[in-house]
A and B are shown apart, each in its own frame.
Chain A
Amino acid sequence: MTEPETLPVTTALEKTSFLRKYVFSTDHKTIGKQYLFLSLFMAVIGGLLAYYMRWQLAYPETAIPGAGWIPEPFAFDGIVPPEFYDALVTMHGTIMVFFVAMPLLLGAFGNYLLPLMIGAQDMAFPKLNMMSFWTIFTASIVMLASFFVPGGAAAAGWTAYAPLSADPTLTGVTWGLNLWILGLALEFSSFLMGGINFLTTTVTMRAPGLTLFRLPLMVWMQITAAGIFMLSVGPLIAGAILLLLDRTVGTGFFIASRGGDPLLWQHLFWFFGHPEVYVILLPGLGALFEILPTFARKPIFGYRTIVYSIIVAGVLSFVVWAHHMFVSGMDPRLVMPFSITTILISVPFAIVIFAFMATLWGSSLTFPTPMLFALGTIMTFIIGGITGIFNGAAPVDIYVHDTYFVVAHFHFTLFPSAIFAGFAGLYFWFPKMFGRRMNELLGKIHFWWTLIFFNLVFLPMFLLGMGGHMRRLYNPLQYDFLKPLQPVNEFITTAAILLFIGQLPFVINFFWSLFAGKKAEDNPWQANTLEWATSTPPPHDNFATIPTVYRGPYDFSIPESQKDWLPQNEPVEEPSPPDDNVATTTLTEER
């Protein structure tokens, strides 16, 4: 796929203005890249906030190097007061979940890959797609602007528990939290638009022959995530309206003294918040489902089982939310049912993990950077998943709730699904997205550094939590029983700083490869799915002719093919034409 096909497209594009091509583009590939850059930018901000927090925890109430520029009353010569520390905690969580993980995994990967993988020329609603990006862009500006309003940014935790969030007098934050609600509302509507697009596109615009069970698993993960998000966020939107009324009009939906119920907010938040975990996790797993078979040169183990497991997990994710609330004072009779559903939901994910292992079993593995990150994801996510069972079992949870054990647990689930799987996907699809290869050596340095220091940061946090170190604690030294643990805090902070520095090889690699990397061929990893069937980078309408799909996405090392892979759009060389009826029936038997 060289000159004749790309040339007309380039000339067609030259006619469109710069603004239309790069800024207000309706091309899903450009929009995907916009999401990518937005999430990388927000990740830097979220990381910076984490650095300020970590420094305060290790060396309480000392001047933070590099924080001297923050004006009073948010910081005093680099010393962060408790109010601003609360804002740091809140905004770090909000930014990382809603403005880094979701834009990266759903926004960037979903938008870029979904139409390519299903052989469509674009999304079903390209203009809506453009609007979804500019909505989250506005949301990001609103979120960042909330730091600069009087009273500072939201400081009621990323979960915004009432009544702390419902009554402005409790935190002293007025406009900050209103803007936080507005920013999240915009973010939600952005991903609702995106989700409608993903689902509609997948249902109506698949290439000929691409049946549901021939879809790449990444597509399954994206649409399941979109569906879960769409059905879980509604009640929280209603709740957010009520919260905003409490704050501005003076109603009392979440304020007990005015007849309301603070606990209701927790129910509404976690009815969304728990499915949200899977909204982030599933696209991350989706990247793994593409990467592992490609570098194992082996079909994925149990395609249909994986699909059914994920759907079951998606349904179950709606009935586990109260495991976040075991110590909230809700009816204790609810604890046992929610413990049971929580432990039940680990079954489908255990099946997925075993499918990963069975895929790797007896395969011919190679270890380029995307594969390393994929394996790193599995390794670290298993720790996150298993500690989740600790938290889901009420007797243990009552002991570790709201300690650093929980912080460690959810960083072991979200960091692998967002950051490790995100990097795995980025290294894997970078050649397709930007037409150039990334540097392998820098990639490997980046991986090992990130893996080691990620574990050095978050494994000791389990220890802190078991020792009783509270989550969102401003100054650990105010408690005598935490003083012996302070060296652990200092160790974690050192490791965290090194973890940040460890991202430098990536930044250098990313920008250097963007402009000077080795040119990538159309199918650099010899993978089967349709995005590799078009030229690199793909032209404006993706495919010169819409491909026809003959088989499932993971036919590696199968006897029908001479090479060890068989693209979805490549018909098998048939021995003799009269047999073609038989050949087709066997083809349909294959997934």
Chain B
Amino acid sequence: MTMSTLSAAQEHPANHRIAVGKMGIWWFLASEIMVFGGFLAIYILYRMASAGAWTQLAEHVSAPIGTFNTVVLLTSSLTMVKAFQAIDAGEKLRTRNFLAATVVLGLAFLGIKAFEYSRELAMGFTPVSGMFWSFYYALTGLHGLHVLAGVIANFVLFVMAMKGSLWPKTQQRVEYVGLYWHFVDVVWIFLFPLLYLSY
């Protein structure tokens, strides 16, 4: 009786819901999905309308380098999950190491991407050498900026872990940054076949 009276009038919605920060991240990712979703839709529509005219341009991207970079980024997602698992289990050293590994792998991805850019620019493919290359640089550039933001966020977490200030109140930040990091990965999973494997 008393219970039902309480739950009718005094039930507090905040008590048993998703954490506030996590919800904020999810809304943020929802808006990000619309940015990349819109961007990819534009690309796909243009590509379909081009009726194969882009194929000759598209075959100059390096699928092996792209594949290797995909592996690098996916591995960084694994280390991100491991960092989350470690902080959940209270293992400070492992958390720190896996955060560092994620930062290093993220930087490796950006480094390989920079190498790719320089290779393509050396071959004469600039953002203005045809619509495919315009899209290529715009899409991978925007994605690269997101990777950079994730690297910085992970690096901040790493520094906090080194100073020991990641515990206990702010440890859920590893999960939030992880959600973002996985999102950036998922975007790449769409970009990779659409840009590298579709000619």
Which residues of A pack against B, CB within 8 Å?
124-125, 128, 192, 195-197, 199-200, 203-211, 230-239, 241-242, 245, 249-253, 258-261, 264, 268, 271, 548-550, 571, 580-581, 584-585, 587-588
A242 and B28 contact, Cβ closer than 8 Å, known pairs A204-B18, A235-B37, A581-B4: no
Residues of B within 8 A of A232 (CB): 34
20 A–B contacts, CB within 8 A, in A order: A125-B20, A192-B31, A195-B31, A196-B24, A196-B27, A204-B20, A206-B12, A208-B9, A234-B38, A238-B42, A245-B127, A249-B127, A249-B128, A250-B127, A250-B128, A251-B128, A252-B134, A268-B38, A571-B9, A588-B8
Partner of A200, one of B5, B9, B23, B131: B23
Partner of B20, one of A124, A211, A239: A124
The residues in B between 68 and 103 inclusive whose CB is less than 8 angstroms from any CB of A are none
| Chain B proximity of A275: nearest CB distance (Å) | 11
Q: How many residues of B contact A (CB 8 A)?
A: 39
A233 and B138 contact, Cβ closer than 8 Å, known pairs A200-B24, A548-B9: no
Which residues of B pack against A, CB within 8 Å?
1, 4-5, 8-14, 17-18, 20, 23-24, 27-28, 30-39, 41-42, 45-46, 49, 127-128, 130-131, 134, 138, 142
Partner of B38, one of A207, A238, A258, A581: A238
Residues of B within 8 A of A264 (CB): 42, 45-46
| Chain A proximity of B13: nearest CB distance (Å) | 5
Residues of B within 8 A of A253 (CB): 42, 131, 134
| Chain B proximity of A360: nearest CB distance (Å) | 32
Query: Quick check: A208 and B12 within 8 Å, CB to CB?
Result: yes
Query: Quick check: A209 and B10 within 8 Å, CB to CB?
Result: yes
Provide the main secondary structure of the chain B interface.
helix
Q: Complex Cα distance A588/B130, Å?
A: 64
Residues of B within 8 A of A251 (CB): 127-128, 134, 138
Residues of B within 8 A of A196 (CB): 24, 27-28, 31
Residues of A within 8 A of B10 (CB): 208-209, 548
Query: Quick check: A233 and B23 within 8 Å, CB to CB?
Result: no
Max count, chain A CB within 10 A of own CB: residue among B8, B31, B37, B128: B31
Chain A minimum-CB-distance residue to B32: A234
A584 and B38 contact, Cβ closer than 8 Å, known pairs A124-B24, A241-B142, A242-B138: no
Q: Which 8 A-B pairs have the closest CB atoms?
A: A234-B34, A235-B38, A238-B39, A234-B35, A251-B134, A208-B12, A196-B27, A238-B38
A237 and B35 contact, Cβ closer than 8 Å, known pairs A209-B9, A261-B46: yes
Q: Complex Cα distance A543/B33, Å?
A: 37
Residues of B within 8 A of A245 (CB): 127, 134, 138
Query: Quick check: B13 and A206 within 8 Å, CB to CB?
Result: yes
Chain B minimum-CB-distance residue to A197: B24
Query: Quick check: A230 and B35 within 8 Å, CB to CB?
Result: no
Query: Quick check: A230 and B30 within 8 Å, CB to CB?
Result: yes
Query: Quick check: A585 and B39 within 8 Å, CB to CB?
Result: no
Partner of B17, one of A203, A233, A584: A203
Residues of B within 8 A of A237 (CB): 35, 38
Chain B minimum-CB-distance residue to A236: B38
Residues of B within 8 A of A205 (CB): 13-14, 20
Chain A minimum-CB-distance residue to B33: A234
Q: Complex Cα distance A250/B31, Å?
A: 28
Query: Quick check: B31 and A203 within 8 Å, CB to CB?
Result: no
Chain A minimum-CB-distance residue to B43: A238
Chain B minimum-CB-distance residue to A124: B20
Query: Quick check: A204 and B31 within 8 Å, CB to CB?
Result: no
Query: Quick check: B18 and A585 within 8 Å, CB to CB?
Result: no
Residues of A within 8 A of B36 (CB): 234, 238
Q: Complex Cα distance A587/B7, Å?
A: 12
Residues of A within 8 A of B38 (CB): 234-239, 268, 271
Residues of B within 8 A of A235 (CB): 34-35, 37-39, 41-42
Chain B minimum-CB-distance residue to A202: B13
Q: Complex Cα distance A252/B24, Å?
A: 36
A587 and B8 contact, Cβ closer than 8 Å, known pairs A237-B35, A251-B134: yes
Query: Quick check: A208 and B28 within 8 Å, CB to CB?
Result: no
Max count, chain B CB within 10 A of own CB: residue among A199, A204, A235, A258: A204
